[in-house]
């Protein structure tokens, strides 16, 4: 009989039986069909090791279908996944959905529809039959629309003259069925499968019955075994027309000392009754508190195995979910464990793919600065320094420079950012934009060229052997080229299927490709990827309820109840999705039967937040087979164990961490004063200080050190209070200048208040605008809205201040606005407090004088003219009493500067709050000055002079301490909210 069905439990030598027959028919060039590409590599190597280098071919079922089609004369290539997605989306539009329209607009609808279409294709259900069945059943309100979707999809395929992969499989098998002699009786062996779908069963039947080829199918199955119930339906389908070879269970695949426990587990799993045996170290449990702890305890056990002589390639770590696998790969890599990890990744999440797509988005209207940055970091384009003409030699530094500028200035638009700081990128952006303007196909060509240029540039003329990361880059470029080829082939038939540039980018971003290498190191894989292989040690991770076994997930369009109803009413049977227990049991059984020496089962007793988690019920099934020793000797790494104990630390780095934690050393001492001679010499040589910096040093020496001396460059936007203050300064200056231009005086009085408010409106329109308001509208909408809210708040605050000043102020003339002194280019030199010891520079927000308007342009000839110095603040201002003790030096020094440099007689120094409920200024003011002030801030002339003298002395004392390097942390005075730089100061807050 051409069809042979080989059954038996795990480790029953099914593979040996099949491969023995394969070797016997090498002269007929047999095909060995295995589930995954990794299995192809593994069994190719195993055959080669046994001397079978030529004659046999190892391939997946998809490649077998391609071989059947080639032999049968089928020349049309099926749609790839990328082109198929565009066809599905077009079919959704063709169906003119009503009830399903809201769902169709949601992400994931097209993928779910495509999965249903594939299932219908595999089940050989034609649109007409599907439509009749849904109408006869009538169990869903959207049944007609569901039928219309499938019909529209098939019409699209027929219009293209193409088929999808599932349809191509049926076409290939049908073509062979029409002329089975074409196959030439070439033997086919299927191994490693737990089950066969309808397409696979049809191919097996056609090859064996019609083509009369020798076909062997090996399946894990024993009558009555719960662990193998997932294969029962396929066995029952094949057995009546096959020669059945039932292989008995065997234990010789297990290592000697592990054999009793592992064989007992294989025989008793999911079966009732039976004796308990000692695990003997061959079956072990690992309990963890959180996912990282699980990865760490697994990594520690892997290291122990490797130290005992187990090669990394002989260890498998099985993890479900790409996110969990990425964490395990990170932790194992940090432990120095070589990891073979092949995973599927969306093209838009790869470095090269994300960079190329970001470049296209940056070039299109509405492109964001973040897209420009992602593209430039990927492309390695050299950029010029903003402050120099010579370009940076290292592209990463240039990208960091651009990133800093974009963040600092809050630029949202890509084109604005490029024009200001990366002009060399504009030409390439224009090229991508021009390509997009020509149409989707031109954009596809440009994207491929961009990807090829980026990844190949470092390797031109180098004969370079690619490392693993570079091979991944090459795969991305190749996958993008393949996807673009699919889409261009689709466009040749129907250009409308491509959509616009945004559709193209979305489609390419979702393309999946395989990255990483699973051939070297510890295999980190999904359980489905090792069903046909054995290892010395296997870790089955994530043994949680809802993770292993997974919970049933209803099919979005037709859940299992609907499918049962459909079958009962019409006879149309579709696969059930929610009855997963048998499949999950079979998969777990396959995992625990793979190790030859030791099996580890790990689970999490809590999540990262400390919430308790439920272990898999499969663990209970395992525990019933063994004595309490299994549970008592479980490994544990709980959430509270931030570090390993020194005795258990798996790596030198972890040991150092454990020892540091065990020592419980006190926090490091606060930052000490400098002792380095060059630093002290530099400080001692200082003779000129800004008034603001003297005030900062008087409050906290460490803050002055960081902000005044080290002056780290800010790469983030100014804090909102700082931006608000800058805007208030600029708007007030413009308001007062506008008031003077319109009335001849900038004096704020009840009579000039209307003109001042009008000048405020003009100033807000000219200097109070957010940068995004004039930038890219699409990219600046969020910042524009925020800017409008800030402007309304600023307007309300300044209106309140102007009214208060007009009604309760001193009525003096604002003569100097933003007056600067002491720096190069300033009209006046520094304030000399002590010749040769201290000169003070500054910028004064405002100096108001008593006198006629228009005669204050010069300081000459006005000795004795009275003046008030004002410094704008936010919501709070320091009180005048105790200026010297509190370190508030700035306004008092400005008063001295007004006297010495402008020849004025200061009668007040005021810190003016611009927002908040209190509009009264704080400081010191002579008792004969008009206005509304806090009582304790009003002093007589002698008191004012005494305060100025104290400030002069305090400024000299402060400068002396600064020059002497007496830099001490003062967290209680550093900033309103405590220490401003705690990681540097370390003095607490």
- Tell me what the pLDDT averaged over the chain comes to: 87
Do residues 18 and 52 touch, judged by C-beta distance below 8 A? no
CA diameter of the chain? 123
Which of the given ranges, 261-265, 515-519, 636-640, has the highest pLDDT on average? 261-265
Give the model's pLDDT for residue 647: 86
Question: Over the stretch 240-254, which tens digit does the pLDDT of each residue have?
Answer: 999 999 999 888 889
**How far out from the chain centre does Cα 897 lie?**
54
User: What is the pLDDT confidence band of residue 518, given thresholds at 50, 70 and 90?
Assistant: low
CA separation for the pair 630, 621 (Å, rounded): 13
Q: What is the mean pLDDT of residues 128-154?
A: 92
**φ/ψ (deg, to 5) at 816:** -125, 125
Q: 3-state class of 970 per DSSP?
A: coil
Provide CB contacts within 8 A for 592, sequence distance 6+.
265, 266, 269, 538, 540, 599, 601, 622
Q: Return d(Cα 648, Cα 655) in angstroms, integer.
A: 8
The mean pLDDT of 477-500, rounded to a whole number, is 89
Q: Residues 22-48: what's their mean pLDDT?
A: 87
Question: Cβ distance 888 to 848 under 8 Å?
Answer: no
Q: What's the confidence (pLDDT) of residue 396?
A: 63
Tokens of 246: 């039932």
What one-character DSSP code corresponds to residue 934? -
Would you say 886 and 860 are in contact if contact means Cβ atoms under 8 Å apart?
A: no
Residue % of the chain over a pLDDT of 90: 53
3-state secondary structure 686-752: CCEEEHHHHHHHHHCHHHHHHHHHHCCCCCCCCCHHHHHHHHHHHHHHHHHHHHHHHHCCCCCCCCC
* pLDDT the model gives residue 940: 94
CB atoms within 10 A of CB 329: 21
Helix (H, G, I), strand (E, B) or coil at 575: coil
> In 3D, which of 476, 593, 583 has the Cα closest to residue 531?
593
For residue 164, which of 83, 70, 94 has the smallest C-alpha distance? 83
Q: How many CB atoms lie within 10 A of CB 310?
A: 18
pLDDT at 853 over 80: no
Task: Provide the 8-state DSSP code for 208.
Answer: I
Question: Phi and psi of 65, rounded to 5°?
Answer: -60, -40
Q: Is residue 498 a contact partner of residue 492, using CB atoms and an 8 Å limit? A: no
**Of the listed ranges 195-199, 454-458, 912-916, the one predicted with least confidence:** 454-458
Q: What is the pLDDT of residue 324?
A: 86
Q: Are strands 522-525 and 904-913 parallel, antiparallel or unpaired?
A: unpaired
Q: Coil, strand or helix: which one is 848?
A: strand
Looking at per-residue pLDDT, the higher value among 724 and 931 belongs to 931
pLDDT tens for each residue of 184-198: 989 999 998 888 888
- Structure-block tokens of residue 975: 């900033």
Q: At 348, which helix (H) or strand (E)?
A: none
b/e map of 550-583 (b: 16 or more CB within 10 Å)?
A: eeeeebebbbbebbebbeeebebebeebeebebb
In 268-336, where do the E strands start and end?
283-289, 315-318
Residue 939 pLDDT > 90: yes
CA-nearest of 908, 910, 848, 907 to 879 is 910
% of the chain exceeding 70 in pLDDT: 93
CA distance 909 to 887: 15
Q: Are 835 and 900 in contact (CB under 8 A)?
A: no
Q: How many separate helices (H) and strands (E) can be counted in the chain?
A: 38, 23
Task: Measure the CA–CA gap between 405 and 900, rounded to whole angstroms.
Answer: 40
* Out of 185-194, 328-337, 765-774, 922-931, least confident range: 765-774
pLDDT score for 309: 94
CA distance 395 to 406: 16
Answer whether the bond into residue 875 is a cis peptide, omega within 30°: no
What is the Cα–Cα distance from 201 to 183, expressed in whole angstroms?
17
549 closest CA partner among 620, 493, 499, 483: 620
Distance CA 921, CA 912 (A): 4
Give me the pLDDT at residue 318, please.
95
Quick: pLDDT tens for 365-423: 999 999 998 888 887 654 443 443 333 333 566 778 888 888 888 888 999 988 888 88
Q: How far apart are CA 886 and CA 498, in angstroms?
A: 70
Q: How many CB atoms lie within 10 A of CB 305?
A: 20
Mean pLDDT of 134-157: 92
What pLDDT was estimated at residue 658? 83
C-alpha distances out from residue 162 to 83, 129, 875, Å: 11, 21, 71
pLDDT tens figures, 529-580: 887 788 999 999 999 988 899 888 888 999 999 999 999 999 999 888 888 8
Residue-wise pLDDT for 159-186, tens only, equals 988 888 888 898 999 999 999 999 998 9
CB 271 within 8 A of CB 624: no
Contact indicator for 601, 286 with CB cutoff of 8 Å: yes
Q: Which residues contact 848 (CB under 8 A, 6 or more apart)?
A: 810, 812, 813, 814, 815, 867, 868, 870
Handedness of CA 686, 688, 690, 691 (dihedral sign): positive
Q: At what angle do helices 198-205 and 165-178 cross, to 10 degrees?
A: 20
Residues 431, 451 contacting (CB under 8 angstroms): no
User: Which pLDDT does position 387 carry in this prediction?
Assistant: 41
Position 858 pLDDT exceeds 60: no
Rounded to an integer, what distance in angstroms lies between the CA atom of residue 152 and that of residue 154? 6
Residue 977 is predicted with a pLDDT of: 75
| Angle separating helix axes 369-379 and 414-421, nearest 10 degrees | 60
Provide the pLDDT for residue 857. Answer: 42
* Residues 568, 675: Cα–Cα separation, whole Å: 90
- Cα 324–328–334 angle (5° rounding)? 150
CA distance 689 to 823: 10
Alpha helix stretches (DSSP H) within 809-889: 883-886
Measured in degrees and rounded to the nearest 5, phi and psi for residue 915 equal -145, 170
Tokens of 807: 């009604």
Q: Report which of 250, 317, 397 is spatially closest to residue 599, judged by C-alpha positions.
A: 317
pLDDT at 771 (0 to 100):
43
Q: Which of 797-818 are b and which e, b meaning 16 or more Cβ less than 10 Å from the residue's Cβ?
A: bbeebbbbbbeebbbbbbbbbe
Radius of gyration of the chain (CA): 39
**H or E stretch at 601:** strand 595-606
pLDDT of amino acid 381: 54
The full DSSP string for 212-240 is ---EEEEEE--TT-GGGGGGHHHHHHHGG
Pairwise CA distance, residues 95 & 99, whole Å: 11
Distance of CA 266 to the CA centre of its chain: 41
């Amino acid at each position: 009989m051409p069809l042979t069905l080989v059954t038996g439990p795990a480790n029953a030598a099914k593979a040996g039986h099949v491969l023995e027959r394969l070797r016997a028919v090498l002269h007929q060039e047999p095909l060995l069909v295995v589930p995954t590409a990794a299995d192809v590599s593994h069994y190719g190597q195993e055959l080669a090791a046994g001397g079978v280098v030529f004659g046999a071919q190892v391939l997946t079922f998809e490649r077998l279908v391609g071989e059947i089609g080639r032999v049968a004369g089928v020349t049309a290539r099926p749609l790839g996944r990328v082109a198929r997605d565009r066809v599905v989306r077009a079919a959704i539009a063709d169906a003119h959905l009503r009830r399903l329209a809201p769902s169709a607009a949601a992400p994931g609808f097209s993928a779910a529809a495509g999965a249903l279409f594939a299932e219908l294709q595999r089940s050989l259900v034609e649109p007409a039959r599907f439509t009749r069945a849904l109408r006869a059943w009538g169990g869903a309100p959207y049944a007609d629309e569901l039928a219309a979707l499938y019909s529209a999809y098939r019409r699209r395929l027929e219009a293209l003259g193409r088929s999808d992969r599932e349809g191509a499989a049926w076409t290939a098998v049908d073509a062979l069925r029409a002329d089975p002699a074409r196959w030439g009786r070439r033997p086919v062996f299927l191994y490693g499968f737990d089950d066969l779908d309808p397409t696979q069963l049809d191919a097996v039947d056609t090859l064996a019955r019609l083509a009369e080829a020798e076909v062997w199918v090996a399946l894990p199955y024993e009558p009555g075994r719960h662990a193998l119930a997932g294969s029962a339906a396929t066995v029952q389908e094949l057995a009546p027309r096959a020669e059945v070879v039932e292989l008995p269970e065997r234990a010789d695949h297990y290592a000697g000392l592990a054999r009793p426990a592992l064989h007992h587990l294989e025989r008793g799993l999911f079966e009732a009754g039976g004796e308990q045996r000692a695990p003997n170290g061959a079956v072990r449990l690992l309990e963890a508190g959180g996912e990282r702890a699980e990865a760490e305890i697994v990594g520690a056990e892997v290291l122990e195995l490797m130290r005992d002589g187990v090669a990394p390639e002989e260890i498998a770590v099985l993890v479900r979910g790409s996110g969990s696998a990425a964490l395990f790969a990170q932790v194992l890599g940090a432990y120095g464990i070589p990891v073979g990890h092949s995973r599927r990744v969306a093209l838009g999440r790869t470095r090269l793919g994300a960079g190329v797509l970001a470049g296209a988005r940056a070039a299109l209207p509405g492109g964001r600065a973040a897209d420009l940055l992602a593209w430039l970091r990927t492309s390695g384009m050299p950029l010029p320094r903003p402050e120099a003409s010579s370009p940076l030699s290292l592209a990463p530094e240039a990208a960091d420079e651009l990133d800093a500028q974009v963040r600092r200035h809050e630029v949202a638009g890509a084109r604005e950012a490029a024009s200001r700081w990366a002009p060399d990128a504009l030409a390439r952006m224009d090229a991508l934009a021009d390509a997009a303007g020509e149409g989707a196909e031109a954009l596809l060509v440009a994207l491929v060229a961009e990807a090829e240029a980026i990844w190949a540039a470092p390797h031109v003329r180098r004969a370079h052997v690619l490392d693993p990361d570079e091979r991944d880059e090459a795969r991305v470029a190749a996958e993008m080229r393949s996807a673009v080829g699919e889409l261009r082939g689709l466009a040749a038939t129907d250009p409308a299927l491509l959509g616009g540039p945004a559709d193209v980018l979305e489609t390419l971003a979702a393309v999946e490709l395989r990255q990483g290498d699973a051939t070297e190191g510890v295999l980190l894989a999904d359980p489905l990827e090792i069903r046909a292989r054995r290892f010395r040690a296997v870790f089955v991770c994530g043994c949680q309820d809802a993770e292993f076994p997974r919970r049933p997930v209803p099919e979005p369009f037709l859940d299992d109840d609907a499918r049962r109803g459909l079958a009962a009413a019409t006879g149309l049977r579709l696969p059930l999705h929610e009855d997963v227990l048998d499949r999950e049991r079979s998969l777990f059984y396959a995992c625990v039967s793979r190790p030859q020496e030791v099996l580890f089962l790990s689970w999490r007793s809590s999540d990262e937040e400390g919430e308790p988690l439920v272990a898999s019920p499969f663990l209970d099934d395992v525990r019933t087979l063994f004595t309490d020793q299994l549970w008592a000797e479980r490994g544990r790494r709980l959430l509270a164990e931030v570090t390993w104990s020194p005795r258990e630390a798996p790596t030198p780095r972890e040991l150092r961490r454990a020892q540091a934690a065990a020592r419980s050393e006190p926090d490091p001492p606060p930052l000490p004063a400098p002792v380095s001679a060059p630093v002290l010499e530099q400080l001692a040589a200082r003779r000129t200080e800004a008034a603001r910096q003297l005030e900062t040093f008087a409050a906290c020496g460490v803050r002055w050190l960081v902000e005044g001396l080290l002056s780290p460059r800010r790469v983030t936007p100014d804090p909102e209070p700082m931006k608000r203050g800058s805007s208030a300064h600029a708007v007030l200056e413009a308001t007062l200048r506008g008031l003077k231009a319109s009335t001849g005086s900038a004096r704020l009085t009840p009579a000039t208040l209307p003109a001042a408010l009008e000048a405020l409106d003009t100033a807000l329109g000219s200097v109070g605008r957010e940068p995004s308001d004039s930038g890219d509208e699409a990219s600046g909408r969020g910042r524009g809205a925020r800017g409008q809210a800030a402007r309304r708040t600023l307007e309300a605050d300044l209106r309140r201040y102007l009214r208060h000043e007009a009604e309760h102020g001193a009525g003096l003339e604002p003569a100097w606005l933003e007056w600067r002194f002491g720096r190069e280019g300033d009209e006046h030199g520094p304030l000399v407090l002590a010749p040769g010891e201290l000169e003070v520079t500054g910028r004064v927000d405002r100096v108001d004088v008593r006198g006629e308007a228009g005669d204050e342009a010069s300081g000459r000839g006005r000795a004795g003219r009275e003046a008030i110095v004002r410094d704008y603040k936010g919501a709070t201002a320091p009180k005048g009493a105790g200026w010297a003790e509190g370190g508030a030096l700035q306004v008092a020094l400005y008063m001295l500067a007004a006297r010495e440099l402008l020849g004025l007689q200061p009668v007040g120094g005021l810190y003016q709050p611009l927002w908040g409920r209190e509009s009264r200024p704080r400081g010191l003011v002579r008792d004969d000055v008009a206005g509304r002030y806090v009582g304790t801030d009003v002093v007589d002339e002698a008191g004012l002079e005494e305060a100025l003298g104290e400030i002069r002395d305090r400024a000299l004392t402060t400068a002396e301490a600064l020059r002497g390097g007496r830099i001490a942390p003062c967290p209680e005075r550093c900033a309103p909210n405590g220490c401003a730089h705690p990681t540097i100061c370390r003095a607490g807050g």
